Structure 1
Amino acid sequence: MGLVVTLYLVLDILLLVLLALFVPIGFWRGAAREVLVTLGILLGFALGEFWAQPWGLDLADRTGLGEGAASFLAAVLLLVACTFLIGYGSSAVILTLQPGLIGRLLGALVAFANGTLLLGFALRAIRLYLLGGLPSGLFEQALVARILSESMPWVLLAGAVLGLPVIAVAAVFGARAVEEEVEVSRSGAEFALQHTPTRPLPPRMPSSYRASAAVYKTEPVRPVEEPTRPLRPTLEQTDTGGRAVSDLANQETAVLARSATPGAPRPAGGRCPYCHADISEAEVFCPRCGRVV
């Protein structure tokens, strides 16, 4: 006998898929963040219980909707707003430790419970406000929808009973993880302190006690005879191609010594023979005119 695919079966499959999507999200986020989402869902449900009908009546007067539809819209808006703005928003703002394997498994479990609460409260609002609490084929033939809408009291009771042990386990393993992290950071700091060099630069070499305290760099005394390289005119030669080249290989290089005797007689008064500036006996060039004296 083949399975007859009906609209209610499709609805059950869709609800199961939505519940399954919460599990990897909770495994990735961890239990601490998913608990904040749970608080947001419960806050949205509580606000809907108190304010869905009053705000639904006001919305019905202003928009022309029915009282049941307006109340359902107000309840669902409060539930969704508190879930995403307060639940997921606070979990994104508050800084928490990186969850471990146990924290991720607990996060997947809490996320599945969050999906059950969210879908269950939404189906309860449909049954209470849109259908007026009357029996309907939606909850008569759709098994998952009926379980989610009718099992909310038991889900809340189970959450209250299991909440305390889960919090205790999370506190114990969370404190142990913090202690291990602190120990690792301390050992790393001690290792860095032991291996940090006390002196970033190598020590200076001791200076000789015989060296003078002040050392000045001066230009060496220019010798009287300074070797020079004279410039000689070279004859250009023409090769077979008609280009004028210079036979550099045949040039001779000579070093000539300047005569110690100046070209002009040095006056006895210690003056330059050209500009009559005062010069000393050791000077070779006149400091004023620059000529050789």
Structure 2
Amino acid sequence: PWKVAAAVVVPPYAAKFSIFAAISQQETVPYTNRAHRVLLTSSEECEFGDENFNYWKTKNGKDILGPSDPRTVLVRRIASDIIHGVRRLFPNNSVHDDDVKQGKMVVRPQTGHLNDLNWEVIVVDDDQVKAFSSMGGKIVIHTGYLKHLKTDAEIATVIGHEAAHVVARNSMELLRSIPFYELMPFSRRAELEADHIGLMIMAAAGFDPRVAPEFRKKIEEIIGDTKLMDYIGTHPSFETRSRMLSQKEVMEEALELYKQERMRREKCQSVSSLWWNVLGYRSC
């Protein structure tokens, strides 16, 4: 896709895109195994992401809810489970920056960038039905969204989707340097990819994945949506997103992860596990 994009980019952006293409490196998205090109190494992304997010917090500080606000406490509790779900789904056994720099053949999905992420989740007092993620594991959700989220699983659907963008390194993709990227098919593909990965993350975190398709339908009714979004929107239509998540093979895989996590938690709550905890050992 990046070669196709290079062919359609018009001056004066062509030279800029060519430079970015030359310095970019190819990676494979975890779980979906899609090949894409990214602009920064994971360590550079984290450093740049921390700087950008600190600037964003300074600029929007008056609207950021404090850590003791009940809404922040709720969101961060669920986000903690989601992050644990990421770690369970993507264990530390993958390709790192050093492998790429040494010219080694990269054949496995890269998840090394997940090891050193400084995850940070913030709630903003704003009526917009909006949530977003940025470089280095930063996630923001607006109170306008929370007003419509009635269960932990619905909140987990939103946070899981944003965490999936971090997993897939969508913000680092070379294609994002194309003018009007957000209105092009590449952007909508990235959103569907984040929906897919996010579904697996929330299941691995112990949240019922069957909530996700119904949640998409719910939001469609709240904010309004049309099939036209599949062609000109920054995101696909909610109808399409719900249908993709409801596919039999996709949902069966997510339900298996959910089942495994529920069984793990039941084991952790057993009498034997409680005794281990009393003795000072963590069984889970």
Same fold, TM-score > 0.5, yes or no: no
- The structure with higher relative contact order (CA 8 Å, sep 6+) is 2
Q: Which protein has the bigger strand share?
A: 2
Larger radius of gyration: 1
Under TM normalisation by the shorter chain, which class is it?
A: under 0.3
**TM-score under structure 1 length normalisation:** 0.23
